[in-house]
Amino acid sequence: MALCLAGALGACAPSPDPGTTPSRAMELRAAAREASARGDDGACVALLEQAVALEPGGAEAWEELGRAREKRGDATGAVQAYEAAILAAPQRYQAHLDLAILCMRSGMTGRARSELQEAVDAAPGNATIHWNYGAALVQVGKPEEARQHLVAALRLDPSLGPAHAELGRVEALAGHTQLALAHFAQAESLGVHSAIFHANWGLALLQGDSPDAAADQLRQAVAADSTQAAWWNHLGVAELQAGRQAPAEGSFRTALSLAPEDDVRFNLANLLVQAGRNAEAEALLSPPPQRADLLALRGLALRGLGRSTEARDCLAAAAGKAPRDVNVLNNYGVLLAETGDVPGALEVWRRVLAIEPANQTAQENLKARGGGAATAPRGPQHGP
């Protein structure tokens, strides 16, 4: 899921002392804030450029110009402004933090980390910087490194809700589900309410086998931002686990419309096969997909349509692509048996037991076909 970095702090300069006359640069900065408030971003940038020309050593003005340029989509100009702010006042952390956030959003993760380290060095007691540093490390796939900064942030400020939210995400990634849920609940109590927060909390609840609660959080996520296919997909999984097929199907279809990814296709096609809607599933999985689990699922849809030979060929191809996937192999064995190749089916089920000796489906199917029992082989398995 995408990282929601903190907005930069200190967007407004402190008011001048009432007993002093504002400098021309300060007047220009005040006018720039007014222009921004009325949505005139071009005028805001122009006014701030005049301000820094008058006082090139004013770090706060450069920071404001960086944010204004960034708002207009001028990332290069924003970087230049933040660098000028750092040059003007190297001891300030704010420009380092602003530049780090911009670099992270632009995919320059290496520089983002170096700027965040500079910000930490400039203000080691600032909890917000540690939080942002942790969030950046999560974004680049280093959650264990992120934990130390998030813990430091909460040591400095236990009421920093976003740090609890990010630490919840880190603990969920580490498989510490109950600890993750505790941090998410604490974040909510401290006022954190964002789309990505609810999405991450919902995913942790799914991991914790709480589909109803997960669905509630994920509904809040998609209500706040309906453009994220992954969140709709997770909502579909939660609804399905809670036994609500119709809402699950709707969520999967929305996810598929946003991003026709294989994971979403699998979830929707699996729902359709389990509901006996094999023609719809086969159409969804045509032409034959490349991924083994999708190919196997297409085979099950074809079996449901009475096209056993085609189904067997699909399962054979899937087994070739995933020779250790016990679900695929068990289903391949069923299709072999149903199309008359009982010796081949027995060999496949034995292969399953070599991979997973306690596999009950393979045991029952071997007993049914190889042990002379009267029962039929156990049917195909569904699921991922």
**363: amino acid identity, one letter:** Q
**25 token code pair:** 């640069």
Crossing angle for the helix pair 245-258 and 229-241, nearest 10 degrees? Answer: 160
Cα dihedral 191/9/95/129 (nearest 10): -30
| Cβ 257 vs Cβ 228: under 8 Å | no
Instruction: Evaluate the CA torsion angle 357, 360, 363, 365 in order and state its sign.
Output: negative
Statement: the pTM of the whole predicted model exceeds 0.85: no
Task: Give the pLDDT mean for 351-365.
Answer: 94
Domain 193-260 sits in CATH at 1.25.40.10
User: What pLDDT digit, counting tens, does each position of 175-231 carry?
Assistant: 999 999 999 999 999 999 999 999 999 999 999 999 999 999 999 999 999 999 999
DSSP secondary-structure letter at 111? Answer: H
Q: How many Cα atoms sit within 13 Å of 31 on the Cβ side?
A: 16
| Cβ 217 vs Cβ 205: under 8 Å | yes
Q: Would the pLDDT of 373 be above 50? A: no
CA distance 188 to 210: 18
5 compared with 320, residue with greater pLDDT: 320
Q: What is the DSSP string of 176-234?
A: -HHHHHHHHHHHHHTT---HHHHHHHHHHHHHTT-HHHHHHHHHHHHHH-TT-HHHHHH
Q: Is 328 exposed, middle or buried (0-12, 13-18, 19+ CB in 10 A)?
A: buried
Which pLDDT does position 135 carry in this prediction? Answer: 86
Q: Is 208 exposed, middle or buried (0-12, 13-18, 19+ CB in 10 A)?
A: middle
The widest CA-to-CA distance across the chain, in whole angstroms, is: 101
Cα dihedral 6/7/8/10 (nearest 10): -110
Task: Identify the three-state secondary structure at position 378.
Answer: coil
Crossing angle for the helix pair 109-122 and 127-139, nearest 10 degrees? Answer: 160
Query: What percent of the chain lies above the pLDDT cut of 70?
Result: 90
Q: Which helix (H) or strand (E) holds 87?
A: helix 75-88
Q: Would the pLDDT of 382 be above 80? A: no
| Cβ 37 vs Cβ 231: under 8 Å | no
- Integer distance in angstroms from the first to the last C-alpha of the chain? 21
Q: Would the pLDDT of 378 be above 90? A: no
- What are the structural domain ranges in the chain? 193-260, 278-384
| Cβ 220 vs Cβ 192: under 8 Å | no
Q: Which of 2-6, 55-59, 336-340 has the lowest mean pLDDT?
A: 2-6
Query: Do the domains 193-260 and 278-384 sit in the same CATH topology, yes or no?
Result: yes
| Cβ 282 vs Cβ 300: under 8 Å | no
Q: Which fold has domain 278-384?
A: 1.25.40
CA distance 119 to 117: 5
Task: Give the pLDDT mean for 371-379.
Answer: 42
Q: Please, what is the average pLDDT of the chain?
A: 89
| Cβ 59 vs Cβ 91: under 8 Å | no
